[in-house]
Structures are given as structure tokens and as C-alpha cells.
């Protein structure tokens, strides 16, 4: 006979809930995690190759102790590169612009970086980054070196147009496009550096600084005008906002713009 109250079957013990596997870090490994990124950058040629091929290596090296020679080398690369691009820009008008345009572009680059450096350090602190002032200077040097190396790549194209057009407005627009493209890559390097060194930092304050840097750079090209074209004086006597200067340049540009006397 079957018992009146049969024993219920045993209930399998429930397993504790399993946590999903941890997601990978949103920004990948930090600079310096790869062995090749820890190798010192010995000279200017190595710095040029590193900024183009291994930007993470530069991000790591400029934030190490004893990075001042590398930072100085990156700044030297930036100044020499923008001076070469200025020489190409000066071939549009020739004459005194062959030496004036390189000096103005190099001086404008250095002044823009110096003017915007304090605000970058402040915005970096507000964003939550732990970068020290010297590290910020190193990252700016890397950004400038990358930007100006890209301008060197655009220089042959700029030279072709400078020898085949007479329009100051068209050449100014072409140089502006090249500057904006180079700035995009430089800003990407800078923002990526802050994100990888301080993943918890916010990107908003750095984005505000990028806008400030762009406005200062554009105004500097107006304050040091002319870079394309000719003038009676080395620096302008009239103060102008860059947008107003662009509008007047386009409106006053004749069908053919006379070159400097040295090119006739």
C-alpha cells in the first residue's frame, strides 16, 4: 500500500545569481601599458615618427619625469614645421612675404599656445584631470607638433594653388581649410590624452577650451596680417575682428591681385 502522505521530491538548490563579466575599460589601456610605448624617444626624427605612428607613446613619454627635452623637441618641430608652411604661403606674393610669412606664422603659433595654456590647465582641473602643469605643456606640445606636421603634408598642395591663382580670398580660404583639418587631428590627440590618463575626467571643459583656442588662433592670423597678400607695413595699423577682416577681404578682392614687385 502507498503511504497516505508521500515524501515530496527534493528541491534542487537554486544557484546564486551570476554577475555578467566586467566590461572592458571604455578608453582601452592607458598609455604606457604596451612595452613599445615605454621606449624613450631619442631625437627629433624619432619624435616625428612617434607623433605620426605612435601617438600613445608620445602621450606617455611627455608625462614622465625628465620629459623636458622631449617637450622642447616637440615645440621645435612645431615651430620649424609651421615656418616651412609659412614659406610656402609666402610664395603667393613673393618678395618680403618669403621671410615675413614664416616669422608671423611661427610667432602666431607660439603666442596662441602661450595665451591659451593657462585656461587649458584650469579647464583640465575643472574636468577632474590629475595632470600637472608640465604634463599639460607636454600634451600641448604634442598637439602642436602633430598639427604642424599635417600642415607640412598640405604644403605641396598649397604651393600648387599659390602659383596658379591670383585670388587672395581663395588662398586664404584654402589655408583656413588646411588649418581646420590639422586642428581636428591635434584636438583629437589632446582629448584622447586626457581621457586615457584620467578616464574619470569630463570632456566638456576641454571642449570649451578647444573653441577658445580656435578663436584665438583665427584672431592671431588677423592681428599678424597680411600672411597672404602684401601690405606697406609689417604689421597692420588697424584693429579688426577676424570675421570682419575676412568679409572685407572677400568683398575687396579684385579679379586679379597684383603680386609683389619681386615676382614681376
Determine the pLDDT at residue 17.
Answer: 56
Sign of CA dihedral 259, 154, 207, 31: negative
Report d(CA 196, CA 76) in Å as an integer. 25
Determine the pLDDT at residue 196.
Answer: 79
Tens-place pLDDT, residues 90-116: 999 888 899 999 999 999 999 999 999
DSSP H/E element including 125: helix 97-126
Determine the pLDDT at residue 249.
Answer: 74
Determine the pLDDT at residue 48.
Answer: 92
Determine the pLDDT at residue 58.
Answer: 92
Per-run averaged pLDDT (10 residues), the chain, 264 residues: 56 54 51 72 89 91 88 96 95 90 95 96 89 92 96 96 89 93 94 81 84 94 86 81 78 55 44
Report d(CA 221, CA 51) in Å as an integer. 26
Which single residue is written with the C-alpha cell 577676424?
242
Residues composing the chain: 264
Determine the pLDDT at residue 169.
Answer: 85
Determine the pLDDT at residue 26.
Answer: 45
Tens-place pLDDT, residues 13-61: 555 555 555 444 444 566 666 766 778 888 889 999 999 999 999 998 9
- Inter-CA distances, 130 with 27, 133, 134, Å: 17, 10, 12
Determine the pLDDT at residue 202.
Answer: 75
Determine the pLDDT at residue 261.
Answer: 46
Amino acid at each position: 500500500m502507498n503511504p497516505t502522505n508521500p515524501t515530496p521530491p527534493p528541491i534542487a538548490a537554486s544557484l546564486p545569481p551570476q554577475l555578467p563579466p566586467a566590461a572592458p575599460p571604455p578608453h582601452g589601456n592607458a598609455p604606457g601599458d604596451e612595452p613599445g610605448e615605454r621606449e624613450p624617444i631619442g631625437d627629433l626624427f624619432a619624435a616625428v615618427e612617434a607623433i605620426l605612428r605612435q601617438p600613445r607613446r608620445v602621450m606617455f613619454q611627455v608625462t614622465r619625469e625628465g620629459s623636458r627635452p622631449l617637450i622642447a623637441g616637440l615645440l621645435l618641430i612645431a615651430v620649424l614645421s609651421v615656418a616651412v608652411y609659412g614659406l610656402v604661403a609666402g610664395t603667393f606674393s613673393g618678395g618680403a612675404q618669403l621671410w615675413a610669412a614664416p616669422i608671423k606664422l611661427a610667432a602666431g603659433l607660439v603666442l596662441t599656445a602661450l595665451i591659451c595654456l593657462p585656461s587649458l590647465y584650469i579647464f583640465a582641473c575643472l574636468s577632474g584631470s590629475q595632470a600637472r602643469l608640465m604634463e599639460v605643456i607636454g600634451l600641448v606640445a604634442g598637439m602642436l607638433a602633430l598639427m604642424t606636421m599635417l600642415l607640412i603634408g598640405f604644403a605641396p598642395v598649397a604651393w600648387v594653388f599659390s602659383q596658379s591663382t591670383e585670388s587672395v580670398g581663395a588662398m586664404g580660404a584654402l589655408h583656413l581649410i588646411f588649418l581646420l583639418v590639422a586642428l581636428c587631428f591635434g584636438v583629437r590627440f589632446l582629448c584622447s590624452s586626457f581621457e586615457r590618463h584620467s578616464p574619470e575626467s569630463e570632456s566638456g571643459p576641454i571642449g570649451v577650451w578647444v573653441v577658445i583656442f580656435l578663436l584665438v588662433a583665427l584672431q592671431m592670423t588677423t592681428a599678424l596680417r597680411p600672411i597672404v597678400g602684401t601690405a606697406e607695413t609689417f604689421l597692420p595699423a588697424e584693429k579688426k575682428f577676424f570675421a570682419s577682416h575676412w568679409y572685407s577681404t572677400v568683398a575687396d578682392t579684385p579679379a586679379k591681385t597684383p603680386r609683389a614687385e619681386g615676382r614681376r
